[in-house]
Structure 1
Amino acid sequence: MTDSERNGMGALLLGIDAGCLSVFDRLSAEGVIPNLRSLLEAGATAPLESQIPPWTPSAWPSMFTGVNPGKHGVYGFTGFDGYDFHVVRGDDVRAHRLWTLLDHHDRSSVVVNVPVTHPPDEIDGAIVPGFIGPEDPPCHPEGVLEDVREAIGPYRVYPRYARGDDSLSDAEKIDEYRTLVGMRGDAFRYLADRFEPDFGFLQFQKTDTVFHEFDGEWERVKRVYAAVDEQIGAVLEACDPRQVFVASDHGMGRYEKPEFRVNAFLEDAGYLETTLGGKGMPTWNLMRGDLRDGERAAEWEPSPAERIAAALAGVGLTTHRMGTALERLGLAEFAKAHAPDGVVRTGNEQVDFPNSTAYVRARTELGVRLNVDGRDPAGTIPRDEYEDVRAQLIRELESVTAPDGEPVFQTVAPREEFFEGPYTDRAVDIVTIPTDFQHFLSAQPSEEYFVETTEPWNHKLEGVFVASGDGIDESRPLADAHLFDVAPTILAALDVPYSDRMDGRVLPIVDAAEPASMSYPEYAASERTTVDSVVENRLEDLGYVE
């Protein structure tokens, strides 16, 4: 392909977090998404199978690298270092991105709001990171975020309120969602006009969050999607890409069955110990001081108030019990508003990770970790007993039934059945997939196995993929399209060889002249270390930690 043939944007990828045909069809029938509907009708459209686990911080990297988490290394919102943890960042993703492979072939990119891209790669083009990065993320090239704000006005990564904040009405919160959506489109159009990229990638996150925060309330979903569709129309008109792709990291749907608290089951089965007076369950907001200073600390130490709460919990006076008493006195809301998050965590029952045999560390990992001697700091399972213990626990988990008598899990399996690569050791030891994704899994210690689900709308495996434009054969079948196929397909459509490390394939809709794969050098992240303190509360605000 000559330089003259490459003038203008070759391919545009529109990322719709939690996008799926079941939602699109309903929105389309109500006339909410005319621009998306045109793409769906004109292009090759099919369900897109997500990965395990189908959650944002792991699934988007799998999409833009074309490899499974065992090869890129990210399985959830936090990475675990023994019993300590850190918040994942872009440099935890140890595989080439679409835009770094394009950069190898002198193709430029503009990437806006894509999760887990902080800190950004240094490429020909521009990157403005999205979710899990800080509120004012370092961008590439340096200073470009200030240029964006000068050109379009305010630009924020996150809403101007925290989840649970009652200072804004629900209508005002949705207005804020729509404002954020508008910022994404405005920023992308400005950067596309300035850099004239060969490839553009614009992601919308609020299409997912609106379901989590507002329990799928349809009128609010419609307002958010209407704003997204408006921006899609404006971007298509301004950029006029030769090829357009739409893809989601997972789907969205109702969880009709009760939440299952896996650690409660593990405790009764003799695998898990709990403690009163520890540091609390994992969450990134506890490390706010270190994050504010730009450090990636391995440990969090309680404050004096949090130590007092832990000591009181140790003699049976938990924050849960104190909260019950305060509620009777009408002081619960006041206490909740003024008590540090760490006080709540240190003052309640927690998993005693060092003294347990098996436990769930984070619910979005969809799995159980074992505490292995020689691998984990205080491992309780001898290495030569690892396989036997794991096999026994798999059998026990397979036998768990819900109150309706049906199995809780459709799959309980060793991690090797789902992950392959140099970072498989970062994964859970046992993968647990709830039946039809109808049971929400919780890591919270509890006396009950089953409770009313805390999030009635949550992630499903079936997302969406759409492709249209020059060189796209819409008549070809798209059966069994997978998340891993997105990156190699887009690269092939741009006449760029995809990596031989990729797990995905080139989907048959691309012209048969697509290039073969090639070996690229190992991915090396740019050397950037800046971290902003605003990161500290985002996971909890969005309900991803307990």
Structure 2
Amino acid sequence: MARRIAVIGLDGATFDLLDQLMEQGIMPNLQHLCREGTRACLRSTIPPYTAPAWTTFATGVNPGKHGCYDFLLPTNDLERFDLCNSTHIQVPTLYELLHQAGKRSILVNLPNSYPPKLESPTITDMLTVGDNCVFPESLKQRYPSLQHYRLAPNEELQVKGKLSEYVDDIVAVEQGHMVGVKDLWRQEPWDLFYYLFSSTDWISHAMFDKLMDGSFPKAYDLFRYIDEQLGWFMNHLPTDTHLYVLSDHGFKVYHHTFYFNKWLEQQGYLTTKSAPAQRFHQNISKQDDQKSQLQNKKRFSVSISGRMMQLLSAVKPIERLARWFYHTIAKPFLPIKFNLDVTIDFEKTTVCFPKGRTMTAIYINDGRKYKQGKPMTDAQYLQLRTEVKTKLENLCGPDGQRVTPRVYTKEEIYGTVIPERCPDLFYEFGEYWFVGQFHSSELFIDEVSSKHGPVGMLAIWGNNVKAQQLSEQQIASIMPTILHDFDQSLPADLDGVVLPIFKTARPVRHTDLLDSIRL
């Protein structure tokens, strides 16, 4: 039994990279932690995204039960989505259960913690609405280190290709965070302390390919800094405290892009129309807001219609040249904003990615749920879903590889608790990255991109933790393991299990007292 527990998140971290860094001596503290404690690969949610994955960490159940299955949650109109937040969580969280047991949690940068559910110190994450992320706000007076807390780095540096400066700014953000984190750690009472290094996700999106092949060693400055901070946490753990280090998902280098909505259009499931581009895209984070502001600052705006795209795509070399010009010169350097005024005509669409780049789960536009769709019978719905699933599972790219190893139904992912308006189909990540935009006439493009992968990492360290390597575990198992580590009873309907990490084992206790509570 631990007296206290500290959880350190490394967003998007994977042992594919971390093992290399430990072998090179860049992360000796993490190596020490992994050698003396329990380590395992950690399977994320489907899809492996921050909002559903960290909420599964906090609740011990799959996204169908907790209700936060993507950054954006549908309304009764597939053209309009709500940004996910803590009010959408349908089951008790780890920190709420600990609060009921008389234990105090400090949460710093936990995704989907806005608005805060408790009065204990909480610094919310990139999904925060508004300018204040420190709760209660009086903490800013008590700790001046929190007065200028930054939720995100300067994205203009990345957009303009200033990668060295971008790395320095990411490190500066974390340095600012850690001053406040250490103040809270040392001066506030706590039983559970959570802090997330979002920077591992930021830098991986920008250059995971370079991190893996070592072609940009400057990027390792961030990981050296994070490892130094892990060492600080390890050296300042109170007696009988266990340290959990984990990620919500992994990362992967993709060499192929698949334009999924274009494929649906070719197959007759989706129809487009001319409309302002903003209707098809929706920002989900502070980084997205920054990038939008950068584009909106540009003095000139050029709208590209669907007809113009057809003309460009008629000659493939010209289309490729236009794409190169946009990404290499126009977007980072020219004072011109390009808008592709093409969006989905939902009244004529049956299957789609509704929000292009910000959603990658498949929705069937059933009029019984969505007002712009055509009502379907159960038989029609199942026939359409099976048809799309079969076609997609059998689809191969130009290299002969299947675009996805497997397509799942919502029942296969969520079991018996299925939200009314959740995605209808999910695909497993393979060698192709799926996108929903319409700025390519080709279904497949060979390009390198650094995106999420399905397998993250876990390392647990403390005086009652075994030194061992476990087989792959599920992110849903962290919450019940922490509850058991605190000698608390577990709600009976969790999807996760208590991990076999303890030198001295005790029977796991369950209770059905909270099963029906919705906080």
TM-score bracket, shorter-length normalisation: 0.7 to 0.9
| Residue 135 (structure 2) pairs with residue 140 (structure 1) | yes
Decide which of 387, 399, 406 is 1:411's aligned counterpart: 406
Aligned-CA RMSD value: 3.4
Decide which of 343, 352, 355 is 2:348's aligned counterpart: 355
CA positional deviation for 1:96 = 2.0
CA positional deviation for 1:153 = 6.5
Decide which of 502, 509, 523 is 2:501's aligned counterpart: 509
| Residue 452 (structure 2) pairs with residue 441 (structure 1) | no
**Conserved 8 A contact 1:70-1:419:** yes
1:243 is aligned to: 242
What secondary structure sits across from 1:440 in the alignment? strand
1:540 is aligned to: none
**Conserved 8 A contact 2:127-2:284:** no
2:214 is aligned to: none
2:87 is aligned to: 91
Greater Cα offset, 214-223 or 312-321: 312-321
**Conserved 8 A contact 1:77-1:87:** yes
Distance 1:523 1:283 in 2: 35
Distance 1:337 1:92 in 2: 40
What secondary structure sits across from 2:251 in the alignment? strand
1:233 is aligned to: 231
Question: Gaps spanning 5+ residues in structure 2: where?
Answer: 212-216, 290-295, 314-318
What secondary structure sits across from 1:203 in the alignment? strand
**CA gap 1:197/1:509 in 2 versus in 1, 3 angstroms:** same
**Conserved 8 A contact 1:319-1:348:** no
Decide which of 179, 182, 185 is 2:175's aligned counterpart: 182
Greater Cα offset, 508-517 or 391-400: 508-517
**CA gap 1:332/1:270 in 2 versus in 1, 3 angstroms:** same
What secondary structure sits across from 1:258 in the alignment? strand
CA positional deviation for 1:320 = 8.3
| Residue 271 (structure 2) pairs with residue 258 (structure 1) | no
**Conserved 8 A contact 2:282-2:358:** no
**CA gap 1:336/1:55 in 2 versus in 1, 3 angstroms:** farther
| Residue 393 (structure 2) pairs with residue 393 (structure 1) | no
Within-5 A mapping of 1:260-409: 260-278=258-276, 280=278, 282-285=280-283, 313=305, 332=330, 337=335, 339=337, 344-345=338-339, 347-362=340-355, 365-380=359-374, 382-384=376-378, 385-409=380-404
Distance 2:55 2:32 in 1: 28
**Conserved 8 A contact 1:360-1:368:** yes
The TM-score normalised by the length of structure 2 is 0.85
> What number of residue pairs does the alignment pair up?
489
Q: Which amino acid in structure 1 is aligned with residue 271 of structure 2?
A: E
1:466 is aligned to: 459
**CA gap 1:156/1:134 in 2 versus in 1, 3 angstroms:** farther
Distance 1:317 1:503 in 2: 47
2:185 is aligned to: 192
Distance 1:376 1:390 in 2: 16
Distance 2:322 2:373 in 1: 36
Q: Which amino acid in structure 2 is aligned with residue 120 of structure 1?
A: P
Within-5 A mapping of 1:64-213: 64-81=58-75, 82=77, 83-123=79-119, 125-134=120-129, 136-148=131-143, 150-151=144-145, 154-162=148-156, 164-166=158-160, 169-213=162-206
1:37 is aligned to: 31
Distance 1:26 1:170 in 2: 21
CA positional deviation for 1:361 = 2.1
Identity in percent: 24
- Cα displacement string for residues 350-392 of structure 1 (whole angstroms, at most 9, x for unaligned residues): 2222320111124565432111122111212522311111111
Distance 2:199 2:35 in 1: 24
Q: Which amino acid in structure 2 is aligned with residue 260 of structure 1?
A: F
- Cα displacement string for residues 279-324 of structure 1 (whole angstroms, at most 9, x for unaligned residues): 5453334999xx9xxxxxxxxxxx9x9xx977x8377589989996
1:429 is aligned to: 424
**Conserved 8 A contact 2:108-2:194:** yes
Distance 2:142 2:347 in 1: 49
1:57 is aligned to: 51
Q: Which amino acid in structure 2 is aligned with residue 25 of structure 1?
A: D
Q: Which amino acid in structure 1 is aligned with residue 93 of structure 2?
A: R
What secondary structure sits across from 2:427 in the alignment? strand
Q: Which has the higher strand share?
A: 2
1:487 is aligned to: 479
CA positional deviation for 1:90 = 2.1
The TM-score normalised by the length of structure 1 is 0.81
**CA gap 1:105/1:222 in 2 versus in 1, 3 angstroms:** same
**CA gap 1:191/1:452 in 2 versus in 1, 3 angstroms:** same
Q: Which amino acid in structure 2 is aligned with residue 69 of structure 1?
A: P
What secondary structure sits across from 2:495 in the alignment? coil
Q: Which amino acid in structure 1 is aligned with residue 221 of structure 2?
A: R
**CA gap 1:151/1:214 in 2 versus in 1, 3 angstroms:** same
**CA gap 1:202/1:138 in 2 versus in 1, 3 angstroms:** closer
Distance 2:84 2:162 in 1: 32
Q: Which amino acid in structure 1 is aligned with residue 475 of structure 2?
A: L
